[in-house]
Structure 1
Amino acid sequence: MNHVLLTGASGRLGREIFAAGQNKSFSVHALTRTELVKIGEVINRTAKSNPEKTIIIDVTLPEGTEALIAGLESAGVQEKISALVIGSTGHSTEQLKKISDIGKKIPVILSSNFSRGVYLFEEILNAKTSTGATVADLARTLGFDLSLWESHHTLKKDAPSGTARTLAAAAAIDSERIASTRVGAVVGEHTLFMSQESEELRITHIAHARKLFAEGALDLCDRIFKTPLAAGTYNMSEALRVLLKG
């Protein structure tokens, strides 16, 4: 049986991933703090007793990701895992470099959002129209003004969200054209506005429940188990583009 080792299982997303992973064709094991300190021993033991594929999902804080990478490298076991999936955000330049460095040895998927719907949203923006231009570029050619609005719960610290920045980049929207709202318990909502004086087109993604992010992360792991990725650092969309081609 293939294995997913989960770090950050006590957090909101970690709990959702662990719960959703109990009925999968692979096992999901929540790593304890003691096991994280001895991550090399855990990887070696897992590889010895069950010589199948192992993926690590890390949904801790940036400092936790940094410590995990250091532990993998000091134990020399990084190449025994099929992929490292990182769901934490807010990494420093130095931390991102460490993620990039380990990505030269193994596949690393760094994503602020594991939603498959957001992936489709980004694909829509990147899709080539019959004119050969992307949807966003064609909208501008037709005289539409593009902007982005996102809303999340009041506990979310970063604004704009990582997802909003990703979608804005796909549509070549400047950061000052992104509006953010923090209210109530909103899981996540992102809307792209393509506006003219007399008409407006909107594309919206609404996250109804946090479990969709857990389902997306586990679906990603399932696809990696079936179609191995080459070493490199990917975002969610880049990884899925490779995996969906099979």
Structure 2
Amino acid sequence: MARIGIAGIGGRMGKLLAEEIAAAGAALAGGTARGDDPAVLFAASDVVIDFTHAHAAPVHAAAAVAAGTPLVLGSSGLSDAEEAAVRDAASHVAIVYAANFSPGVNLMLAIAERMAASLPGADYDAEIVEMHHRQKVDAPSGTAVALGRAVAAGRGEALRMESGRDGHTGPRQTGTVGFAALRGGQVVGEHTLLFAAGSEHIALTHRSFDRRVYATGAVRAALWVVGKPPGLYGMKDVLGM
């Protein structure tokens, strides 16, 4: 029976994760609250799930390396330096890092990449609109950025973001991916990818109605990553896509 630890066990996601660990027949190894030493949790766990804050990601990645314990990381809004720290840690221990643990969102990412490969940026403008609850602190969302990266990958180029439009911005740039972030109420998560050409529009939308879908996916990733060799994995690996 796998022993799964939870960083930030007292939070909203932490409580859902604890319930999903029990539902999956795994053992809850324990959890941390703000100020706790993560080394103790990692030493007692076969795998740790982290949905806390972006700034904690390098600390937890280092703890994973020190204990040799795999990490499932779902924090969003990581800086380039924080992502680099996670990638470096993944050369020593298995890490599943995903912007979103919903199976539906990950299928959407795969479809977005294939659509972008067939809809060139010279003819189709790509726009991403996302909405989340009013407490979310980062924008655009990690899932929105992942969608933008999927579009760029499909087109075989680096992501060029066009966001925060305000005032006299001039015409839209060709080949960029536009982002718009909406915040309000208690929306769990909504993402729409729009390809807009002069003769047609194609929209791809995903809506989350319950945060539990993220917890279920993260526990699935945790059970999958136990025993895997060092490396940086994603939900595509977990889902066999």
Q: Call closer, same or farther: CA 1:143–1:63 in 2, change over 3 Å.
A: closer
1:166-191 Cα distance to aligned partner (Å, 9 max, x none):
10111126421111111211111111
Give the Cα–Cα distance (whole angstroms) in 1 for the partners of residues 233 and 35 of structure 2. Answer: 27
Counterpart position of 2:74: 87
- The aligned residue for residue 13 of structure 2 is 13
Work out the CA distance in 2 between the residues paired with 1:94 and 1:141: 29
Q: Which residue of 1 aligns with 2:53?
A: 61
1:97 partner letter = A
- TM-aligned CA deviation for residue 135 of structure 1: 1.8
Sort the Cα spacing of 1:55 and 1:203 in 2 relative to 1 into closer, same or farther, 3 A. same
Which of the numbers 140, 148, 164 marks the counterpart of 1:160?
140
Q: What secondary structure does 2:5 align onto?
A: strand
Pick closer, same or farther for the CA change 1:43–1:211 going to 2, 3 Å.
Answer: closer
1:153-210 Cα distance to aligned partner (Å, 9 max, x none): 1111111111100101111264211111112111111111122344322111101111
- Ranges in structure 2 where 5+ consecutive residues have no aligned partner: 153-158, 163-177
How far the C-alpha of 1:151 sits from its partner, in A, is 0.9
- Tell me the distance in 2 between the aligned counterparts of 1:95 and 1:67: 9
User: Are the counterparts in 1 of residues 128 and 144 from structure 2 also a CA contact under 8 Å?
Assistant: yes
TM-score, with normalisation over the residues of structure 2? Answer: 0.79
The answer to whether the aligner puts 1:233 opposite 2:223 as a matched pair is no
% identical equivalent positions:
29
Unpaired runs of 5+ in structure 1? Answer: 48-53, 127-133
Residues 1:103 and 2:90 aligned together? yes
Aligned length: 220
Report 1:111-190 matches (<5 A): 111-126=98-113, 134-140=114-120, 143-172=123-152, 174-176=160-162, 177-190=178-191
CA contact (8 A) 1:9 1:59 kept: no
Check conservation: 1:36, 1:68, Cα contact below 8 A: no
**TM-score normalized with structure 1 length:** 0.78
**Letter of the structure 2 residue corresponding to residue 165 of structure 1:** V
Residues 21, 198 of structure 1: alpha-carbon distance in 2 compared, 3 angstrom cutoff: same
Higher helix share: 1
Contact kept in structure 2, 1:4 and 1:57, CA below 8 Å:
yes
